[in-house]
Amino acid sequence: MDPIILSGTANLPLATAIAKELALPLGKSTLTRSPDGELRVEVQNVRARDVFLVQPTGAPPDRNLIELFFLADACRRSGANHVTAIIPYFGYARQDRAGNGQKAIGARLIADLLRAAGIGRVVAVDLHSRSLESAFAIGLEHLTAVGLLCEALASPPTDGILVAADMAALGLAESYARILNLPIAIIAKVRLSDEEVVARNLIGDVRGRRPIIIDDIIITGRTIEAALKAVVAAGAISNATVVSSHGLFVDSASERLGALPIDRLLVTDSVPIPTTLKSPVKVISLAPLLAQAVSRLHAGEPLDDLLPNSVIRK
């Protein structure tokens, strides 16, 4: 039997696009709230079927996670054969260590709750940290949007330089470099608080080059702002391209990025993109990538060429 694609409310357009890529109707589910705010979920026709739940955990992450847990539980109790969560943007991924030993490890807790809800496998795209994979006792398929975003870049300038927005983005920048054959510069960033980011050092020669700033997530836009200011101060051409796998654009991100000399901003549709965004944004759909993953997982086929370590030089 064909797989079933179900969706929470976090990104219904993406779920619909995935189902369309697979020439399947979107599965039937009902999510309602009681007068006191309690969530109620009902699913239909999932018995003995492979179910794929599409639900990124962007803002508000707690609400989206509860929907995902309830959808998974409803599928399990309705006799689904196997439940896979497609979480294109995995919230709480940055909470993968305790730090001083007095903080919750949110990423590990969410991984455990996904398993408890009846989910047997997770599909995510460009996780904030590869170390997150060790938190999962269930299968985790870590896909990458680098190939799709490189295609959207078309022909990058020959005088371009890839700029890792911080040290955490270096691995992602290296993946782009293997395809685009461009040099890399690295920003050493210090986050003083959620509201303040400072670029301490720049590694690499950016003089006279056009910066292509790479990051995995844009949340408030402060990291992009600090990185762009740092490379321009070091002699880079001010007009930049920004590429990110996930664009949350919360707080005053729209105004902050809109005030910067950004010619192009490329993000995927892992989460819905605010219509108020002032930068010249181009949204690249993950639907073809995720549809391939669904088709192959349902057929028991490998995903090797969709994974981050599959990115090769042209």
pLDDT recorded at residue 312:
45
Residues 153 and 280 reside in one and the same domain: yes
Q: Residue 75 and residue 73: Cα distance in Å, rounded?
A: 5
Residues 231 and 297 reside in one and the same domain: no
Residues 208 and 83 reside in one and the same domain: no
CB-side neighbour CA atoms (13 Å) of 69: 16
Q: Which residue has the tokens 């549709």?
A: 269
Domain residues for 305? 4-145+287-310
Q: What is the CATH number of the domain that holds 30?
A: 3.40.50.2020
pLDDT recorded at residue 314:
38
Which amino acid is it at 42? E
Residues 129 and 234 reside in one and the same domain: no
Residues 150 and 170 reside in one and the same domain: yes
Residues 103 and 61 reside in one and the same domain: yes
Average pLDDT of each block of 10 consecutive residues along the chain (314 residues)?
A: 96 98 97 96 97 96 97 98 98 81 87 96 92 88 96 90 93 95 91 70 95 95 93 95 96 92 96 86 96 97 85 44
Q: Residue 29 and residue 264: Cα distance in Å, rounded?
A: 38
Residues 231 and 125 reside in one and the same domain: no
Residues 233 and 247 reside in one and the same domain: yes
* Two tokens, residue 253: 């991100």
Residues 123 and 159 reside in one and the same domain: no
pLDDT recorded at residue 34:
96
Q: Decide: residue 178, CB within 10 A, 0-12 exposed, 13-18 middle, 19+ buried.
A: middle
Q: Residue 165 and residue 52: Cα distance in Å, rounded?
A: 33
Residues 210 and 78 reside in one and the same domain: no
Query: Which H or E element spans position 220?
Result: none
pLDDT recorded at residue 132:
84
Residues 237 and 256 reside in one and the same domain: yes
- Omega prior to 60 cis, within 30 of 0: yes
**Residues listed for the chain:** 314
The number of distinct structural domains making up the chain is 2
Residues 255 and 296 reside in one and the same domain: no
